[in-house]
Amino acid sequence: MIDQAIDEAATGHDEATHSSANPFFAFHVFVCTNRRPDTHPRGSCAARGSERLRDYMKVRAKELGIASVRVNTAGCLDRCELGPCVVVYPQGVWYRVQNTADVDRVLAEHLAGSNPPRDLMLPP
């Protein structure tokens, strides 16, 4: 697997890679929990409740029994204005999750389902 990962990583990100195709976590979710002062013009994900949403996502992913998912805390993902921001790798799909209902939809429709919620995705 390491050999394949090396060969494929070496090809860059223009082609499928074995490491992406058979990742250590099928869904590695990063939730931005960066907090800026309330007066900062960009705002911040934590100020919009992302810590609570991360905690909820961790619990619900486990309760739902979704295989090979890890929900991680992340520092600033640099898309602050669009937050609270979440990115799911290796698929590289970005979401704005504003409340627990949005988290439920990402879990059910993307991670446990096959219909990632388009209306929650961040613009390119």
**81 sits near its own copies (criterion: CB under 8 A):** no
* Tally of helices (H runs) and strands (E runs) in the chain: 4, 4
- Among positions 14, 38, 39, 63, the unique one binding its own copies when judged by CB under 8 A: 14
Q: In this structure, are residues 72 and 85 in contact, taking their beta carbons and an 8 Å threshold?
A: no
**59 sits near its own copies (criterion: CB under 8 A):** no
Identify which of 99, 115, 110 has the alpha carbon closest to the alpha carbon of residue 28: 110
- Among positions 59, 62, 67, 75, the unique one binding its own copies when judged by CB under 8 A: 75
**37 sits near its own copies (criterion: CB under 8 A):** no
Identify which of 80, 75, 85 has the alpha carbon closest to the alpha carbon of residue 106: 85
Site residues for its own copies, window 95-124 (CB under 8 A)? 110, 114-116, 118, 121, 123-124
**72 sits near its own copies (criterion: CB under 8 A):** yes
For 42, 62, 101, 102, 114, the CA distances from 108, given in Å and listed in that order, are 30, 12, 10, 10, 9
Q: Which residues bind its own copies (CB under 8 A)?
A: 1-3, 5-6, 8-17, 19-24, 26, 28, 30, 70, 72-79, 87-94, 110, 114-116, 118, 121, 123-124
